[in-house]
Amino acid sequence: MTEDKRQAAIIEEAKAFVDAEIRPFVNDFEEKGGVPLELIRKMAAKGYLAAPFPEKYGGLGLDPVYYGLFTEVFGKACMATRSLITVHTSLVGETLLRFGTEEQKEKWLPQLARGEKIAAFGLSEPDIGSDAKSIMTTWNEEDDCYVINGRKKWITFGDIADVFIIIASNNGKSTAFIVERSFPGVETKRINGLMAGRATYLAEISLNQVKVPKENVLGKLNFGFEYIVSTALDNGRFSIAWAGLAIAQEALEAMVSYSRSRSQFGNKLRSFQLIRGMIGDAVTKIHAARALCMRASELRKQKDPDSAMETTMAKYFTSKVAVDVANDALQIHGGNGFTNQYPVERLYREAKVLEIIEGSSQIQQEIISDFGLKRYYKRSNKS
């Protein structure tokens, strides 16, 4: 079996798993307030919590192209399980794989792969979102450890995570620490009343005089933002880019199916010109979004330095497409679109958050504009 066929088989198996174990129960996850722990264990047993990890750490060894397709499979059916993959696997696992010491990788990656430890990423704070360099959580050095004080907020799967990557600052210099829930002074509080992410165990983390062993520094001391945060956010944006495509694709399939079955004024909705216009726009946007995602994936596979910018553009574009297509899908469903008996109600809610997480759309525009101003500047020939 070729490598492509091996990876393609994993994607097909994941589709069957999702259709049997996840898709029928998504509303239950939201009503009960979380992805069942038993489902997380089943995902781990399949290797789905370590899809891009090398096989020696218990992973499936998916390259970026197939990992993107894998993310789409889960994102189409259930944003909560996709969110678990984003934070546990991409933000934490892949960042550990890139910057962890051999000892850290040998200790943590197999546990993450087996689902023995659930991981979350602690960057955002109650008063700090897009301005991530201004975090207020602090660290100080003692003889045999580092001591962390502060609060983190909006931490996906934070209320059940066993281990966190926590970003803390010392005199304006940030450092990333591997912090275990079992450390004294670590407490989490569930965040409720959410528009989206209702099954993702979103939490606030309090860190009160938390003593962290010195071997738990991830990457270089005082270079947490330059290395760890930038890499983790790039990993996260790649996952969110495919998540936006997933929502848009699912919404398109919902609007097409509904328009072919629902009748008004004696005709199927699909026969009305304005409805056909919405579908035509959605198809075009999704094909463009998929092209961006595949382009970013191919460049990441090649380790091309332009991959980070292509990922940023993909994340920016697909998150907007997800909102547009989910909005039109709900419009086509009419009153039925406002009930959870149809998927578009959930897709509409979940689409919006993608324009905010892993860098808001406005932050992405700033990054992309900086790139454009440099890349496409043509000097005048005039003296």
Confidence band for 131, pLDDT divided at 50, 70 and 90: confident
- Whether the pLDDT of residue 382 is over 80: the answer is no
Amino acid symbol at 310: E
pLDDT average, residue stretch 159-166 = 98
> Can you tell me the distance from the alpha carbon of 112 to that of 161, in angstroms, rounded to the nearest whole number?
11
pLDDT average, residue stretch 217-236 = 93
Confidence band for 326, pLDDT divided at 50, 70 and 90: very high
Confidence band for 381, pLDDT divided at 50, 70 and 90: low
- Whether the pLDDT of residue 354 is over 80: the answer is yes
Give the mean pLDDT of the chain.
95
- Whether the pLDDT of residue 383 is over 70: the answer is no
pLDDT average, residue stretch 215-223 = 94
> Can you tell me the distance from the alpha carbon of 337 to that of 328, in angstroms, rounded to the nearest whole number?
10
15-24 pLDDT, tens digit per residue, is 999 999 999 9
pLDDT average, residue stretch 105-134 = 92
- Whether the pLDDT of residue 130 is over 90: the answer is no
Percentage of residues of the chain with pLDDT beyond 90: 92
Give 102: exposed, middle or buried? Use CB within 10 Å, 0-12, 13-18, 19+: exposed
Confidence band for 134, pLDDT divided at 50, 70 and 90: confident
Q: Which long-range contacts (CB under 8 A, 24 or more apart) does 48-51 make?
A: 48/14, 48/17, 48/74, 48/85, 49/84, 49/85, 49/88, 49/89, 49/93, 49/112, 49/113, 49/114, 49/115, 50/89, 50/93, 50/109, 50/112, 50/113, 51/10, 51/85, 51/89
- Whether the pLDDT of residue 132 is over 80: the answer is no
pLDDT average, residue stretch 25-41 = 97
Question: Catalytic residue among 21, 72, 250, 358, which?
Answer: 358
- What are the E-state strand segments in the chain? 119-122, 138-141, 145-155, 163-170, 173-180, 186-190, 203-213, 217-218, 263-264, 267-268
**Hey, how many other C-beta atoms are within 10 angstroms of the C-beta on 37?**
11
Write down the pTM of the prediction. 0.95
pLDDT for position 100 = 97
pLDDT for position 250 = 98
> Can you tell me the distance from the alpha carbon of 329 to that of 273, in angstroms, rounded to the nearest whole number?
15
Angle at 221 (CA atoms; ends 215, 227), nearest 5 degrees? 110
pLDDT for position 129 = 77
- Whether the pLDDT of residue 26 is over 80: the answer is yes
- Whether the pLDDT of residue 372 is over 70: the answer is yes
pLDDT average, residue stretch 123-129 = 89
Give 295: exposed, middle or buried? Use CB within 10 Å, 0-12, 13-18, 19+: middle
249-307 pLDDT, tens digit per residue, is 999 999 999 999 998 899 989 999 999 999 999 999 999 999 999 999 999 999 999 99
Catalytic annotation present for 358: yes
pLDDT average, residue stretch 13-38 = 97
